[in-house]
Amino acid sequence: MAFAPAAAERSPSGAMPPAARAGQRFHRFGPLAAVAAAVAWGLVELRAETIDAAYLNDSSVHEEMARFAAAQLAHGHLPLERWYPYLGLGSPQFLHYQSLGPTLIGLVGLALGVDRAFHWSAYLLVACWPLAIYSSARLFGLERWQAAGASVVAPFVVSATGLGYEPASYLWIGYGVWTQLWGMWALPFAWATTLRALRDTRFALAAAVAVTMTIAAHFMTGYLAVAPIVCWPFLTPSRLPERLRRALLLLAGCAGVAAWVVYPVLHFAPWASLNEFLQHTPAADSYGARRVLNWLAEGDLFDFRRWPVVTPLVGLGLLASLRSWRADERGRALVVAFALSLVLFFGRPTLGPLLVLLPGARDLFLRRFLVGVHLAGIYLAGMGAVALVDALRALARRAPAALRDLGARRGAALRRRALLAGAAVACLAPAWRQLHAYESLDAAAIRAQAAAEHASQREIGPLLAQIRARGGGRTYAGLPTNWGADFLVGFVPVFKYLANEDIDEVGYTLRTASLMTDPEAHFDELDPADYQLFGVRYLLLPATRTPPVRAELLARRGPYALWTIPSIGYVQVVDTVGTITASRYDLGAATAAFVRSAGAALDRYPTVAFDGSAAAAPTSPAGRPLTGPPGAVRRVDADLADGVVRAEVVARRTAVVLLKASYDPGWRATVDGVPARPEMVAPALVGVRVGPGRHAVVFRYVGYGGYPVLFGLALATLALLAAVPLARRRLGARRRPRAPGPRSPPRAGVRGAGRG
């Protein structure tokens, strides 16, 4: 074993020499000390992440989801079944999106406060990442110093994309891909338990749980959790039939345990949008083999913009694993995982039509497979560090006798260890300096944002309170593509700040899988019809800016002004004229012409023939003249967070009562207490047909109700996986022949007893 102290001779009394005892203690506790130092450094460096400040990045959405989960749990509801109303005109976000992290933090937040729990979760998961690497590496089978080496280098990974297992993915000034952070913790244990389960079915239960947690935490990472189950059985050809049987058992177990995540996503996939604006860009397709391999060779996958530190260790780990290919299954597994992740990271420019073999490939952001390259590379870097030290020790043994004698003197072992630690610190110095500078900038930005928010609350706070009190529609505060990017609270655009305040809004685009998310990106603030179409009732604008449409000023405070359009709300009575054919792949493009038209302002909307289904018949067939408005809304009582909207309307003719919420098959409707069938109205809104007269219309979202059955299936599968090793053990015990033993003496009264 690497770094193991040499066998020491005992004294005549049998006691081990002090130097040998010190060596054993160093071998036992040295790796733990290294891990503790890495964790302590992260806890100190990242402590500003616990400050309560609005997020500049995607974490604003994740934190909003956590608050929503807490509110639903507090009322006894399962967030997976509820309507998430704030972004993209609403969606069953917890069904379509990885929801494990927000749900857990929502649960913890009931006791600690959601915002505090969220900030501390990001802080602890990033700072304690070396601990996850060390414990999973040991479970994987790596030696202590190999695991410690991997944990020490883990925080220093920096890539050209900034979206791997690195600080830029998670910190306040980074991307804020918080759900990937949960997947980052789950994937190492999924890999480790999978390798153990292929050797021993007693680990099948743990592997199924770890793989399921990875899928539930982050869908993209879930692919990398499942892939080794398919690939790793072939690492040991001599035991291939046995390994394949165990792999099939594990795949079946994962399918049963993860069904509560996977089945609803697949079943309701037709009603989840595909982000049309990222298609055929590196964000979805990745970068191709040539560019990725150049990054790898130049050090930009692990050591972007600094002197290479991690990359050489990854290379040494690869060489060491290839050198011991026949003898070391762990090394083979990591090389295969590294190569597989790298090929997937090549993406569509290289793999092209082969991606049809990957389920749901059209929905994947292939550049995110970099995380598998990073995780395998971190483990290999730990192995490479130990291989490097072993090589240096071998060179030292070949040194002249005088130098070897000098190294054997009293206290030399301590000096050697101190020298080794100093060399490690010196080698990591470029990474330390780079990361310290980045994290110092992050801390300064967070503190500045918190101070700016505190100063701005007297100005923007009362305006947001008015929006909440008045209700009845959405808020517009700019777009990422116009002045909204420079309309700020501190560093945070107001349209993102609204997400931190749980305000239903239009403008924070492409955040969810709702069918309205792509049409929303076509919103034009200069077109009055778009305000009606998207249900925009409030405009939160710079105080110096005039509304682009007719609106009433409610209040002006400091640099912020709140306006309202009283005639607009969540419900509208409309005529349906004509049809549009679309699917989730082209809904935004197919309805863009209608969004740009004046149809919404004229109360005229097409119906939609969606995904091969027939469109609802228009209320006004082509050629029939329309005179005057089709009706009016008298009263609306909307609670979209509870998935319920009640309206009283008057229709002058057969018309459609339109709810400005994204269409989903979970919507139900009643007209005067009688169930009515909802229909899809362009771009992707919910409508219900009514006849002439006064009506009471209720829209209610009813989420997927099969979760109890799927949870039961998961529990039953877990029980079966727990029973398999016990059954195998009992079967093996029955098959083993009993060892012959002494014959028992005959019992009294049995025939033959007493014979000599």
Q: Which tokens belong to 461?
A: 């706070």
Q: Which tokens belong to 27?
A: 């071998």
pLDDT score for 12: 53
| Residue 617: DSSP 8-state | P
Which residue in 146, 235, 237, 153 sits closest to 194, CA to CA?
235
Strand 631-639, strand 604-610: pairing: unpaired
| Ramachandran quadrant class, 129 (left: phi over 0; alpha: psi -120 to 50; beta: rest) | alpha
pLDDT score for 1: 44
Residues in contact with 360: Cβ distance below 8 Å, sequence separation at least 6, in sequence order:
269
- Helix (H) or strand (E) segment spanning residue 482: none
Confirm if 539 and 475 have CB atoms less than 8 A apart: yes
Separation CA 459–CA 461 (nearest Å): 6
Confirm if 345 and 337 have CB atoms less than 8 A apart: no
Residues in contact with 206: Cβ distance below 8 Å, sequence separation at least 6, in sequence order:
193, 196, 197
Side-chain-side CA neighbours of residue 314 (13 Å): 26
Q: Which tokens belong to 441?
A: 């900038």
Separation CA 421–CA 224 (nearest Å): 34
| pLDDT tens sequence across 214-273 | 999 999 999 999 999 999 999 999 999 999 999 999 999 999 999 999 999 999 999 999
pLDDT score for 22: 63
Bond prior to 683 in cis (omega within 30° of 0): yes
Confirm if 679 and 689 have CB atoms less than 8 A apart: yes
Separation CA 647–CA 638 (nearest Å): 8
Side-chain-side CA neighbours of residue 23 (13 Å): 16
Q: Which tokens belong to 173?
A: 């000034």
| pLDDT tens sequence across 707-744 | 999 999 999 999 999 998 887 777 766 666 665 555 55
Which residue in 173, 216, 179, 163 sits closest to 61, CA to CA?
179
Query: What is the dihedral angle through the alpha carbons of 132, 133, 135, 136, rounded to the nearest 10 degrees?
Result: 100
pLDDT score for 70: 98
**Would you tell me how many other CB atoms lie within 10 Å of the CB of residue 18?**
10
Strand 474-476, strand 536-542: pairing: parallel
Please state the φ and ψ torsions of residue 505, each to the nearest 5 degrees.
-145, 160
pLDDT score for 507: 97
Which residue in 74, 91, 51, 75 sits closest to 504, CA to CA?
91
Confirm if 332 and 325 have CB atoms less than 8 A apart: yes
The single residue listed with the structure tokens 């501190």 is 490
Confirm if 57 and 174 have CB atoms less than 8 A apart: yes
Residues (pLDDT < 50) of the chain are 1, 4-9, 403, 410, 747-756
Confirm if 492 and 460 have CB atoms less than 8 A apart: no
pLDDT score for 658: 98
Amino acid at 527: D
Handedness of CA 427, 429, 432, 438 (dihedral sign): negative
Strand 604-610, strand 571-582: pairing: parallel
Q: Is 321 exposed, middle or buried (0-12, 13-18, 19+ CB in 10 A)?
A: buried
Q: Is 42 exposed, middle or buried (0-12, 13-18, 19+ CB in 10 A)?
A: buried
Strand 552-557, strand 492-493: pairing: unpaired
